[in-house]
């Protein structure tokens, strides 16, 4: 057993290799998929509130553009690396193909601690980053959205900076915007809603109802908190949640509305009165029906995978399961709904937002949610049909489904040399 940190790009490549072999992917296409099309590194001078200048490092990676413009979030975090952004860009290529929306894969990130930046510093950093990557983004080139450490306000600065440079209104350049700037109804909760839809489908596959199922959620940001609320409203019993400050549990079920109020006031789940403290590592192996990792990469590893007691894992986060953990979970009969399917609700409603911006015609929330259910259930069924056809696990099934769609498009286009 190795204690070396798991490189997320190597983790993506490991799954890609297994899927390509099983599918019988053409060797030339395999080589193309193993490396991103374009990686940009930028240095960002920012005037801090104390009058000093800091220089931050930013990245934008486009993994594959065959099926459409790149699509993918921008992450602000101290642990951002080029390889992490490359991994997430590739996952976006596969994710957009799994839900069959006409995008390729992209991702961006800035190495920074978003919690220690003032609003003014965050705005100046965002604007400088967008000015630096201006040439490679745009509604038909690469469309960013939010990710860890960024939100609708950040996306509004992205929009404004881009529009000031191109000197026209181009609100389809970014998704996850505030409603008043062309955002879509339902986008804020879309990733959490996708987790709900796929959790329900997974339970149905096991012949069990979602109502009454017990749930643990790791990470209580955009994805984790919305998934928690929606699963609770669907009748599931949320008994443990965590964030970067700690974990809490209540076996009788947490009072989710009181918890959401506590988090909006204190910015953490810890200290919530209706619960006891829990060791954050123990949350992943807690006795529940459904485990939702919704924080960050490599949380379920070969070390803790044998102890996972959940029947279903719905990957709200990107890359929460290390490649070595997958066979252990499969062996133990844990049904894993892989990230490129489970958290694709966000990019699906981002696609709806981009379509609405380009049409200049906006949909009601009910229409957005109905279309999301349609896209996600189709993607779930196609993923599991592929999984069954190739007698593999759902992650490799999802990769094969995606590979097949991207490969078909690439074969028609041919290689331009
Ligand atoms: P966020 O910044 O809103 O929230 C992240 C949460 O995780 C916070 O509560 C933070 O405290 C917690 N956290 C961080 N490290 C942790 C740890 N080690 N243990 C427990 N909690 C920890 O981010 P988000 O937008 O909710 O994204 C979460 C994950 O979902 C990321 O992997 C992201 O790439 C993925 N994702 C997000 C979206 C989206 O629409 N926001 C879409 C698809 C996938």
CATH number of residue 97's parent domain = 3.40.50.10860
Check whether residue 333 and residue 215 sit in a common domain: yes
Domain final residue, candidates 142, 170, 198: 170
Beta bridge partners of 110: 58, 76
Beta bridge partners of 42: 58
Distance 229 CA to ligand 1 centre (A): 15
Full domain range(s) for residue 69: 36-170
Secondary structure (3-state) at 291 = strand
Kindly list the catalytic residues.
107
Domain final residue, candidates 318, 342, 366: 342
Distance 386 CA to ligand 1 centre (A): 28
274, 197 Cβ separation under 8 angstroms: no
* Nearest-atom index, ligand 1, CA of 297: 32
Check whether residue 232 and residue 136 sit in a common domain: no
Q: Using CA atoms, how far apart are residues 335 and 337, in angstroms rounded to an integer?
A: 7
pLDDT by 10s per residue, the chain, length 417: 445 668 999 999 999 999 999 999 999 999 999 999 999 999 999 999 999 999 999 999 999 999 999 999 999 999 999 999 999 999 999 999 999 999 999 999 999 999 999 999 999 999 999 999 999 999 999 999 999 999 999 999 999 999 999 999 999 999 999 999 999 999 999 999 999 999 999 999 999 999 999 999 999 999 999 999 999 999 999 999 999 999 999 999 999 999 999 999 999 999 999 999 999 999 999 999 999 999 999 999 999 999 999 999 999 999 999 989 999 999 999 999 999 999 999 999 999 999 999 999 999 999 999 999 999 999 999 999 999 999 999 999 999 999 999 999 999 999 887
Q: Domain total for the chain?
A: 2
Encode 54-90 in three state secondary structure: EEEEEEEEEEECCCCCEEEEEEEECCCCHHHHHHHHH
Pairing of strands 104-111, 53-64: antiparallel
DSSP 217-278: EE--SHHHHHHHHHHHHTT-EEEEEEETTEEEE-TT---HHHHHHHHHHHSSSTT-TTSEEE
Check whether residue 195 and residue 331 sit in a common domain: yes
228, 217 Cβ separation under 8 angstroms: yes
Q: Using CA atoms, how far apart are residues 125 and 157, in angstroms rounded to an integer?
A: 10
Check whether residue 42 and residue 146 sit in a common domain: yes
357, 201 Cβ separation under 8 angstroms: no
Residue 376 lies in a domain: no
Residue 377 lies in a domain: no
Domain final residue, candidates 170, 203, 236: 170
Check whether residue 215 and residue 336 sit in a common domain: yes
The finding on whether 186 has its CB within 6 A of some atom of ligand 1 is no
Task: Kindly state the DSSP code that residue 295 receives in the 8-state scheme.
Answer: S
DSSP 346-366: HHHHHHHHHHHHHHT----HH
The finding on whether 280 has its CB within 6 A of some atom of ligand 1 is yes
165, 145 Cβ separation under 8 angstroms: no
Pocket test for ligand 1, best of 189, 219, 264, 267 (most atoms within 8 A of CB): 219
Residue 51 lies in a domain: yes
Beta bridge partners of 146: 74
CATH number of residue 320's parent domain = 3.40.50.720
């Amino acid at each position: 057993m190795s204690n070396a940190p798991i490189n997320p790009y190597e983790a993506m490549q490991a799954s890609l290799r297994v899927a390509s072999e099983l599918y019988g992917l053409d060797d030339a296409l395999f080589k193309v998929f193993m490396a991103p099309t374009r990686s940009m590194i930028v240095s960002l001078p920012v005037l801090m509130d104390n009058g000093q200048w800091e220089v931050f490092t930013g990245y934008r990676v486009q993994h594959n553009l065959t099926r459409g413009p790149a699509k993918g979030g921008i992450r602000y975090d101290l642990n951002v690396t080029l390889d992490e952004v490359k991994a997430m860009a590739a996952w976006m290529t596969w994710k957009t193909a799994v839900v069959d929306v006409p995008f390729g894969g992209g991702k961006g990130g800035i190495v920074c601690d978003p919690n220690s930046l003032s609003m003014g510093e965050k705005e100046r950093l965002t604007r400088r980053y967008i000015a630096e990557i201006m040439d490679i983004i745009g509604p038909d080139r690469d469309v960013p959205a939010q990710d860890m450490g960024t939100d609708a306000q950040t996306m509004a600065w992205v929009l404004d900076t881009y529009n000031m440079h191109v000197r026209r209104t181009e609100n389809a350049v970014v998704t996850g915007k505030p409603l008043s700037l062309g955002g879509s109804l339902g986008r804020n909760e879309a990733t959490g809603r996708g987790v709900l839809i796929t959790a329900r489908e997974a339970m149905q596959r096991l012949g069990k109802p979602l109502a009454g199922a017990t749930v643990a959620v790791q990470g209580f940001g955009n994805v984790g908190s919305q998934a928690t609320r929606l699963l609770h409203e669907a009748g599931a019993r949320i008994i443990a949640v965590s964030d970067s400050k700690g974990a809490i549990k209540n076996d009788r079920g947490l009072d989710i509305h009181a918890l959401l109020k506590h988090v909006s006031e204190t910015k953490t789940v810890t200290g919530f009165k209706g619960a006891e403290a829990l060791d954050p590592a123990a949350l992943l192996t807690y006795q529940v029906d459904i485990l939702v990792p919704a924080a960050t990469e490599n949380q379920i590893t070969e070390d803790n995978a044998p102890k996972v007691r959940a029947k279903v894992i719905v990957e709200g986060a990107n890359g929460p399961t290390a490649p070595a953990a997958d066979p252990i979970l499969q062996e133990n009969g844990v049904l894993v709904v892989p990230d490129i399917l489970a958290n694709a609700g966000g990019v699906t409603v981002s696609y709806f937002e981009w379509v609405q911006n380009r049409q200049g015609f906006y949909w009601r929330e009910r229409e957005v949610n109905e279309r999301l259910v349609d896209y996600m259930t189709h993607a779930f069924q196609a993923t599991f049909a592929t999984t069954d056809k190739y007698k593999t696990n759902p992650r490799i099934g999802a990769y094969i489904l995606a590979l097949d769609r991207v490969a078909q498009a690439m074969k028609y286009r041919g290689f331009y040399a």
